[in-house]
Structure 1
């Protein structure tokens, strides 16, 4: 992604001929400009010498623009390029193409490859801007995103080690979360990790096989095939695709395609004296490549099954055609993409990519500026910060002392030394301050816990009938032992309980987040989908074990969030509400009830409330808002309770969630229209506790 034209600045050498002289020139070119600074625009390709590669900076500029446009949409702004994330794949191909050419050049000149020098060049090019970003995030994070401070510690360590992609997978992180307010600031560094891991491993293959170029090409094609097949094998269309999206093993095809093109085509032998037919072929290749890439970026969605089942390889091939077509000196598109504004942006594309996501997340809309106007402001700030980083930090560290340093006067030499020292020492000092700030930061608040003031149930009216005109107050000799089973509805309910709930209930949380009891796949009309068999295959065993451990008097079962959809199985789709669907739901629920009854607990089935899912929240499932669906599930739960009226009971949720729009749609009751905050939990327990008090206590069962 970030390799500027490191093989594109040819040193002035005596005229030679032959392939060895050609690749020798590539090495001198790289040694003369390890930073990737673009050379003079009047340099061109010649046989035996590879000059500046026109147009690659333009490709970088357009690719980072596509990524910016995509992230504008995922950070809460308007969505224009749903496939803009594919700009990263174009960067991958460019990097593979250039790095492979660099390695071949060094091998041809010296008969060996110095990994030490290779990694030094990479470090000088990449580390200054990256570490400056990490230091800045560490300094500002405790103030701007205090809820992320504990996470940032691990994220920063992973970024320093260029292992962000695997760290995110370890943390169950997703690239496709839509809630920008909760988006981690350093998620986007996954792609840099993939590239650096490629840089770490790929030179070893070249060292072993550069003398047998066609063997290396065959190995490269085999690795491309293996990576693509692995991605296809690992992809499950009903689970989050982040394992395939983040994995170095499943994303290696793109840089390897660039490497394969460099090995096969040997761009250092290209020249402007090629035949007209070859020139026409190059221009057709460029046209086909740019058409395919632009079409994919304009139309492709990040949840398209096609991408993860070979589609990323197609994207890499299209990007490879673009890179080859633009890189050739006779390319007309290469000349067009070499325009000065595009070249300027391309040279700074690494910094723009580094800085844009934290800026997008941290800058809320203000001053009445919204939509594309605010998006343009954030993009402009990202470019400005990247330009400052490029000028004040990256360039001084990358280039070191200027060539004429010894010939300058003393004052000029002192100024150069001070500038370089400041570029190194100021970030180091800031890093020390950042470490102190992160260590002193308080622990983060639970995002599922309402930060509002504590609420209380107060004195609840008795649910028992009374001959008196006044309803007596509800009293207990001892709180009821209740264990809650089900999905994340119960989990959020118990994280926001009223302060005085323990007067009535001694309650434990045995829920499983994201867990439905029908082990099928479900897909929403919004495009959301999940595989419940993958999320909680052992829910029944969990219920049984938890019931034996807790031995509750009442097991409160809260289902529904995953039980209002069609069920997709290996044999087809079972329509919601059909006799087959009803039988599947009744069987699963009956098995769960049996596990709870086995320990002597009374089972209370909480009927489904009316859901009002919020569009735009992370995970929008509009079927939950269809009251006819929740009512059908409630009918089935009621039927199950009637089968064993002495041991199984139904509990009615607050009717206000159906009848009062001021409550049912208010986000301080349910933050996404489904999951509870404090006001919603208070309302739920005020309605439910009196009903639980009427449930007969079970007779004790010996252990």
Structure 2
């Protein structure tokens, strides 16, 4: 691997290649792949998308500024045409080929595929998903094209930004222009932090173009700041010490991005309250250091394998998630939160091969010749009696077949996944029982259902019929995607409504980590007069062990709190009694859930009389 300084740019066919950016793209897409395919290895790998945003904002803005400087105008039609040639070939192939494969596999992988394709075709996937209640972090439905949200954000930027840039150019000072963009980026980051609700689903703030534009804008600010220097070359560092300092700053920023990918999870408050914005600023520092003519950092980032992967990063990003989702669907019962290692490795290998084929035979030809040029070349191949005729005819047949199977898939796609159907059935069954509760009294020598308030997430929602059967009169308040962070607010609301009963069951550990402070808030809301049952969590997710440890520790320190061991009770029978996602209970699994809570209530009933204090009484886990 050569460590010689790479040129800032190389002119070829009217294009500029900035040193280091291919390698930075490679790091970004590799992080995203690890986050999706090996989810326990890199909790913050999704930050790779923000690195892409900064690179895109920088490159697109520098391209527009060079065109304006050299021709005196910006040809918007030509600009958008180039974007279409770059984006559409791989996108169309990915969508049609993946949908065809999904039609063959069948099942949940086809859920709402029409809505997904609509979002992909109109570059509005992020807003279509938000409007339809879709979630980037929810595993109830395995959306095959979920990752296209980021492409939608970029394309919306490509449409609007050239027009705004032309207006911004009326500001004479490039420093003032850059300042405007920095302020706009800060506004977007602050808007994300403002709309983010701890403990809630973060999809709206993560998907939103308004809340997630700061990376694109800060990248554009760098290009504006370097306006007039990008085409002719940046000045070299004044001396060896300065060059070393600049490289050191860029390297430190790159390390900082890596640290962020390790410590920032998709459920962490810090991620949405400045974490992603800081990662974007660090990316700007890396770019500014790498593109200098004498940058050793740029040379290292441009080294062989990184440059190869960076040039194919778009195709790799498009292909990896549909391939992975299809492999998991074919494996049956596997989830993207805890996928079999073999499926993840196989997904990587297939993705790299398919991305290379797409890059060589679809993306590059269209980018070089344009759509019309490729059609003419195709026509010549059909007319000549050569082996190319067979290839061209076969290609045409494949394209027609892909289009037909895609339309067929849209027509037959289910609107609910099996887990969503299970939860909907449980919700309906629970509603029916709450309207006409069973007259059968509880046979257990514990508190009766009419003195229990149960608050939970989708796991409790799926088990609600079993809870109402076991504890007639129980008040179940359970919803999808809740986490423990929301518990204090929910309990206060129920207390204000007069629905907070003497015994509270809390099942909110599935969807994210929990903290001691949140549990302390729960205790304050409940007060000393109420009993609390904390339900342990079971799911193929990284934070479950920590969640259960926190719950167990809290229960051991509070006399009127006990842990219902749902995790220990269901684990031996999880394959038999849980849905395909390995999280939500079916009918028999719901009965196990209810029995876990019944055992906890019995443990509370067996407590000796209070000795004048609520603390210091170690309770065994209820089984």
What is the TM-score when the length of structure 1 is the normalising length?
0.64
Q: Does 1:301 align with 2:264?
A: yes
Q: Does 1:437 align with 2:409?
A: yes
Conserved? CA contact 1:449–1:677, under 8 Å: no
Give aligned pairs, total.
Answer: 548
Task: Name the larger-Rg structure.
Answer: 1
Which of 600, 622, 627 in structure 1 is aligned with 2:548? 622
Question: What does residue range 77-476 of structure 1 map to in structure 2 within 5 Å?
Answer: 78-79=40-41, 81-144=42-105, 146-177=107-138, 182-211=141-170, 212-214=172-174, 215-266=176-227, 267-271=229-233, 274-275=235-236, 277=238, 281-282=242-243, 284-298=245-259, 299-302=262-265, 303-364=267-328, 375-400=344-369, 414=384, 426-427=398-399, 429-442=401-414, 444-447=416-419
Equivalent position of 2:479 in the other structure: 513
Structure 1 residue 535 displacement after superposition: 6.3
Structure 1 residue 151 displacement after superposition: 2.3
- Structure 2: which 5+ runs fail to align? 1-7, 332-338, 427-437, 444-449, 599-623
1:55 to 1:242, Cα distance in 2 relative to 1, 3 A:
same
Structure 1 residue 135 displacement after superposition: 1.1
Greater RCO, 1 or 2 (C-alpha within 8 Å, sep 6+): 2
More deviation in 614-623 or 352-361? 614-623
Equivalent position of 1:60 in the other structure: 25
1:536 to 1:271, Cα distance in 2 relative to 1, 3 A:
same
1:150 to 1:535, Cα distance in 2 relative to 1, 3 A:
farther
Point out the structure with the larger helix share.
Answer: 2
Q: Deviation per CA, 1:18-51: give whole Å up to 9, x if none.
A: xxxxxxxxxx714xxxxxxxxxxxxxxxxxxxx5
In 2, Cα distance between equivalents of 1:410 and 1:257? 46
SS of 2:485's equivalent in the other structure is strand
Q: Deviation per CA, 1:195-221: give whole Å up to 9, x if none.
A: 111112211111223353524323212
Structure 1 residue 348 displacement after superposition: 0.9
Structure 1 residue 120 displacement after superposition: 0.9
1:341 to 1:559, Cα distance in 2 relative to 1, 3 A:
closer
Structure 1 residue 417 displacement after superposition: 8.9
1:535 to 1:113, Cα distance in 2 relative to 1, 3 A:
farther
Structure 1 residue 386 displacement after superposition: 0.7
Conserved? CA contact 2:247–2:290, under 8 Å: yes
Which of 491, 499, 506 in structure 1 is aligned with 2:461? 491
Q: Deviation per CA, 1:267-317: give whole Å up to 9, x if none.
A: 435448x55516754553343223322333243322444332333232222
Equivalent position of 1:583 in the other structure: 527
In 1, Cα distance between equivalents of 2:300 and 2:123? 35
Structure 1 residue 494 displacement after superposition: 4.9
1:97 to 1:686, Cα distance in 2 relative to 1, 3 A:
closer
1:684 to 1:393, Cα distance in 2 relative to 1, 3 A:
closer
Conserved? CA contact 2:66–2:231, under 8 Å: no
Conserved? CA contact 2:461–2:479, under 8 Å: yes
SS of 2:73's equivalent in the other structure is coil
What is the TM-score when the length of structure 2 is the normalising length?
0.71
In 2, Cα distance between equivalents of 1:128 and 1:495? 49
Conserved? CA contact 1:658–1:664, under 8 Å: no
Conserved? CA contact 2:535–2:597, under 8 Å: no
Conserved? CA contact 1:232–1:308, under 8 Å: yes
In 2, Cα distance between equivalents of 1:661 and 1:263? 58
- Structure 1: which 5+ runs fail to align? 1-6, 12-27, 31-50, 455-459, 466-480, 517-527, 545-554, 590-606, 637-654, 690-703
Equivalent position of 1:29 in the other structure: 14
